[in-house]
Amino acid sequence: MNEPIRPEDMRVSDADRAVTARHLQWAQGEGLLDLDEFDTRTSELWKARTRGDLARLVRDLPAVPARVPATSDRKPKVFSDTGGGTAMRVLTIIFTSITVVNLVAWGIVSLTAGEAVYPWFLWSGIPPLAVLLTLYGFGIGRPERD
């Protein structure tokens, strides 16, 4: 006769590992784990075979709060949580970085020349901005309205 398997000896799926991974990410974000400990636990996470293995990784951590902010507390989303939203977020960061670098370089050149030089930074800023706004206008990465 087969004995029943204890819950902590049950095998885990990738979905179970993903839940524990989010728990570890939350704990690291809250400052409960430093990066070395987070890295170690994350490595062990993907080697885990049983529920007991996963439970040992988070047993000293508080539960992830299930608090959902009130509607008035939530900031409006600029980009969706889809792949398009992630792409737009990355492109916007790249665009902003390039624009800031060019603007600072223009400012330094203007200061060292003793006068405002031709604003060439506009050529590196306006065309990419037009592309981003066009993509966003067509709905790429835009969150759905409630």
For residue 41, give both structure tokens.
Answer: 């636990």
pTM of the model: 0.47
- Contacts (Cβ under 8 Å, ≥6 apart) of 135: 88, 91, 141
Q: What is the pLDDT of residues 57-86, one digit of tens each?
A: 999 999 888 764 444 455 678 888 888 889
- Cα separation, 42 vs 80, in Å, equals 27
The 8-class DSSP code of residue 73 comes to T
* Tokens 């439970």 -> residue: 55
